[in-house]
Amino acid sequence: MPDLIPECHWDEGVLFMSRWNSVRRIFAGRKLAAIAAVWLIVIAVAAIAAPWLAPFDPLEIDPVSRLSEPGGAFLFGTDHFGRDTFSRALYGARMAVIIGVGCVVIALVLGGLIGMLSAYFTTLGHFLMRGVDVLMAFPALLLALVLMTLLERSVVNTIIVIGLVYAATTSRILYGMTLKLKSDVFVDAARCTGAGNFSILFRHILPNLYSPLLVQATFIFAFAQLQAAALDFLGLGLPPEIPSWGNMLSEERIYITRAPWLLLFPGALIILSVFSVNLVGDALRDNLDPRFKDDIAGV
């Protein structure tokens, strides 16, 4: 007997066009945000393909080529050790992506758990939120400096410290959102069906937080770049032998008058990357938040 229900096949071309239209809708009428997204893709590609794109070893010392001006074989010039600045900038992009992603994961996971649990379990929230309030009373950079003085300079410790700093902010944001969702009708309906507390938290409330979490992730990524660069510049971030944009600024600041390009290129990369992430985050927020959709539609 033939099957009366036709078998459905997903057309990969239709699926691709649907996703492409979703991306176009996010950046529709936002040329700067679209350019920013392209720039972030370039940074991601540079971070992944740094070993193949870098023309020189970023740690190779060449005294003969010391402080060479940009041009020729050295696209961004060389530093006071004769190391190729362009190669170091590419590897710096790798460190920027690693630190940014690591900080986002720690901040969202830890901050999300603290915020959601504090909002749902009121007694527990009294203790956890008071601790969060104490952490938020300190400026982010000052708190990061205090924590880094207790640890040794490394990539892992830098990620942990910056992630903890922004976990406090994330927990406060999700605390308020979870409190609001906790009183909605769908939570009462789930409770009436016999769903447990953790089932309600992670199967019903958490999916409604995906959009704000995605937007918050972009801002954490951007601010993590600034914090990491500041820690490197102050000598408390990554070890000096690791090429990063912050370390490049810290090492070459004494040559600002003799070789200004040594600060120009890493500084420009930090500014452009942070600005681009913020623009993309704004575009995502305006597209995902219904309140902003209504505002845009009314314009």
Structure confidence by residue, pLDDT tens digits, 88-101: 999 999 999 999 99
Domain ranges of the chain: 31-61+71-112+132-164+210-298
Estimate the share of the chain in helix, then strand, then coil, as percent rounded to the nearest 5: 75, 0, 25
CA distances from 3 to 6, 7, 10, 76, 293 (A): 7, 9, 19, 66, 44
Task: Report the alpha-carbon distance of residue 73 to residue 70 in Å, rounded.
Answer: 8
Instruction: Answer with the residue of higher pLDDT: 64 or 274.
Output: 274
Mean pLDDT score, 12-32 = 61
DSSP string of 68-118, one letter each residue: PPSBTTBTT-B-TT--BHHHHHHHHHHHHHHHHHHHHHHHHHHHHHHHHHH
Note the pLDDT of residue 297. Answer: 38
Note the pLDDT of residue 5. Answer: 42
- Residue 74's φ and ψ, nearest 5 degrees, are -105, 100
Cβ(267)–Cβ(252) below 8 Å: no
Q: Which tokens sit at 117?
A: 């649990």
Task: Report the alpha-carbon distance of residue 259 to residue 214 in Å, rounded.
Answer: 40
* Residue 195: DSSP 8-state: -
Smallest CA-to-CA distance from 174 within 217, 221, 135, 228 is with: 217
Whether residue 3 has pLDDT greater than 70: no
Query: Which residues, at least 6 apart from 241, have a Cβ–Cβ distance to it below 8 Å?
Result: 59
Smallest CA-to-CA distance from 271 within 30, 29, 36 is with: 36
Mean pLDDT score, 171-192 = 85
In this prediction the pTM is: 0.84
Structure confidence by residue, pLDDT tens digits, 46-80: 999 999 998 888 888 888 888 888 888 888 888 88
Structure confidence by residue, pLDDT tens digits, 99-149: 999 999 999 999 999 999 988 888 888 888 888 888 888 888 888 888 888
Smallest CA-to-CA distance from 84 within 107, 99, 67, 98 is with: 67
Ramachandran class of 198: left when φ > 0, alpha when ψ lies in -120 to 50, beta otherwise: alpha
* Residue 202: DSSP 8-state: I
Query: Which residues, at least 6 apart from 176, have a Cβ–Cβ distance to it below 8 Å?
Result: 119
